[in-house]
Amino acid sequence: MDEKEFLTAKKKSLTILSLLLLLFLGIAVVFMGLPFLNAPANKGEEVFNLSELIQNGSFKEGQNARLEINNLPILITPPLKAESQFYYVMDANNRTYIANLSTATFKRIAKGLDLKTGKLATPYEFKGVVNIMDKDIKKFVLSSSYYNILKRDKLNPGDFYGVYLKENYVNDRVVTLYKISALFSLLFLIIALGYVLPSIVRISKGDFGIRDESIMARVLQKYLPADESLVAGIYGIGIEVGIKQIFENCAMVDGNLVPDEDGVSFEVSKSKYSKYDVYFGITKGHILLSECEECDYLYEFNEVQNAQEVNCLKIDEPVLSKDIGKCFALSDIQNCIIQNGIAGSMKCTILMKNGSFIKLVLPKYGGPGMMHQAEYRDIILNSLRLQSE
């Protein structure tokens, strides 16, 4: 990658990442703010004593109010099909009020009931908003079927002062939605600040990580056959590899192969069955494969008899185990299966004549530092297709 391409890639990547950062932060703020959209508009205002408001005749709809009760609320039946119900409640002076309470609050109040006295062991104070009764609610709470419950000879609108106290509460479903909203907010904050922002800082310094064409070229250069040059190289994802190679006239020293004219032949099996980042390149007559970062493989070393009957590799210098299976002749390919993957990627399975195989996913875009990923990928795939024909 020359300097001009480098600067272009850097600018483009920073622009995209900056937009992503703003997007993810915006989404996080939206999810974080959802619970506040449904918060009571009068939250934070002074909370008045409902008894005093009514005695002074100074109550207004929408006021925050509190009421302290000594008795268990009496449900006005039949109950409404809602998460809150209307109850008769009495304050310390036995004045009767109407309250709209959630089932959860009623259960909480009921836990404080003293069965011996029939009253609450300690007074319970709940808070809510003052609401003016409409016709239907008045008719509902003044039904004659409740006379005996309240031990009154007659009920009239004045008994309840024409108001009721509606508890401020959030139902369980809304609470669950708030929790989910908070988790989504946290998720997008982690993505924005934990991944996108560090990427912006890193790329602004010219660091593309493993997805850098210059790094890829240096890595693959080490495995180039003599008198050949790299035609195309890309970033890929290794899915599964099972590689077999036979080396003749060598000896095993500390898990590595060294030349030995009096030595034997070894068949080396190298396999991996988990995803890992790879560089995949092609020359005029070979394909190159190397992991982007050091990783573990499963190795097997077996002596081979009658090695002259099989295709063997001769080494002139020590070969480290980790460097085995990095270069393959195109003529050794028996078949190549290429299929469409997700997001424009291509799934590639390369089968060798000796039973070796390589399964890869080749993305269409390799990242900001892989400027020629799509172009080079087409070159590689076309060469593999021609080899399979």
- Tokens coding 270: 């190298």
Same domain? For 273 and 360 the reply is: yes
Quote the CA–CA distance of 74 and 209 in Å, as a whole number. Answer: 69
- Clarify whether residues 253 and 153 are in a common domain: no
User: What pLDDT is attached to residue 283?
Assistant: 94
Q: Please list, residue by residue across 190-227, b when 16 or more beta carbons sit within 10 angstroms of its beta carbon and e when fewer do.
A: ebbeeebbebbeebeeeebebbbbeebeebbeebbeee
Reported as a pLDDT band with limits 50, 70 and 90, residue 230 is very high
Could you tell me if residue 43 is inside a domain? Answer: no
What is the pLDDT confidence band of residue 214, given thresholds at 50, 70 and 90? Answer: confident
**Which one of 144, 169, 194 terminates a domain?**
169
Lowest mean pLDDT among 19-28, 132-141, 344-353: 132-141
Which position has the higher pLDDT, 172 or 368?
368
Peptide bond into 123 cis (omega under 30): no
Given a cut of 70, is residue 228 above it in pLDDT?
yes
Which helix (H) or strand (E) covers residue 178, if one does? helix 172-191
% residues pLDDT > 70 (the chain): 83
Residues 135 and 272 in one domain: no
More confident residue, 8 or 231: 231
Q: Determine what percent of the chain is predicted with pLDDT higher than 90.
A: 21
We report the CATH number of the domain holding residue 97 as 2.40.50
| pLDDT of the residue at 45 | 66
Determine the pLDDT at residue 78: 61
109 and 247 in a single domain? The answer is: no
CA dihedral 159, 118, 73, 126 (to 10 degrees): 100
Residues 6+ apart with CB under 8 A from 220: 230, 233, 279, 281, 288, 290
Are residue 337 and residue 372 in the same domain, yes or no?
Answer: yes
Q: Could you give the CA distance from residue 133 to residue 115 in angstroms, rounded to a whole number?
A: 33
**Mean pLDDT in residue range 90-114:** 85
SS3 253: strand
Q: Which domain, by its residues, includes 280?
A: 213-388
278 and 153 assigned to the same domain: no
Q: Tell me what the mean pLDDT of segment 306-331 comes to.
A: 79
Q: What is the count of structural domains for the chain?
A: 3
How does DSSP classify residue 323? Answer: G
Residue 69 and residue 153 in one domain: yes
The per-residue pLDDT of the chain, averaged, comes to 82
CA separation for the pair 93, 71 (Å, rounded):
11
Q: What is the structure's pLDDT at 351?
A: 94
pLDDT of 92 strictly over 80: no
Q: What is the pLDDT of residue 387?
A: 79
Can you tell me the distance from the alpha carbon of 168 to that of 39, in angstroms, rounded to the nearest whole number? Answer: 10
Q: Are 127 and 65 in contact (CB under 8 A)?
A: yes
Residues 24 and 187 sit within 8 Å (Cβ to Cβ): no
Q: Do 276 and 381 lie in a common domain?
A: yes
Domain assignment present for residue 240? The answer is yes
Beta bridge partners of 361: 237, 347
Q: What is the pLDDT of residues 285-317, one digit of tens each?
A: 999 999 998 888 998 888 887 655 556 788 888
Q: Which amino acid belongs to residue 114?
A: D
Q: Look at residues 273, 288, 279, 287 and name the one whose alpha carbon lies nearest to residue 240.
A: 273
User: Does 152 lie in the same domain as 71?
Assistant: yes
Instruction: Give this prediction's pTM.
Output: 0.55
Better-scored residue on pLDDT, 331 or 76: 331
For 158, counting Cβ atoms within 10 Å of its Cβ (0-12 exposed, 13-18 middle, 19+ buried), the class is exposed
Range in 201-215, 257-271, 285-299, 361-375 with the lowest mean pLDDT: 201-215
In a domain, residue 349? The reply is yes
Q: Tell me the two tokens of residue 186.
A: 């946290």
Q: Where are the beta strands (DSSP E) in the chain?
A: 48-49, 64-69, 74-75, 84-90, 96-102, 113-114, 119-120, 124-132, 163-167, 232-253, 256-259, 264-272, 276-282, 286-291, 298-304, 313-314, 327-329, 333-340, 346-352, 357-362
pLDDT at 102 over 80: yes
Residue 178 and residue 158 share a domain: no
Domain presence at residue 189: yes
Among the residue ranges 303-307, 335-339, 357-361, 369-373, the one predicted with the least confidence is 303-307
371 and 238 within one domain: yes
* Residue 53 and residue 153 in one domain: yes
Span of 133-142, 216-225, 342-351 with lowest mean pLDDT: 133-142
- pLDDT of 71 strictly over 80: yes
Bridge partner list, 213? none
CB crowding 245-266: b at 16 or more within 10 Å, else e: bbbbebebeeeebebeeebebb
Most confident of the following: 200-204, 205-209, 344-348: 344-348
Handedness of CA 204, 205, 209, 213 (dihedral sign): positive
Greater model confidence, 168 or 269: 269
Within 8 A by CB and 6+ apart from 98, the residues are 76, 86, 87, 88, 89, 133, 137, 141, 160, 163, 164, 165
The verdict on residue 220 lying in a domain is yes
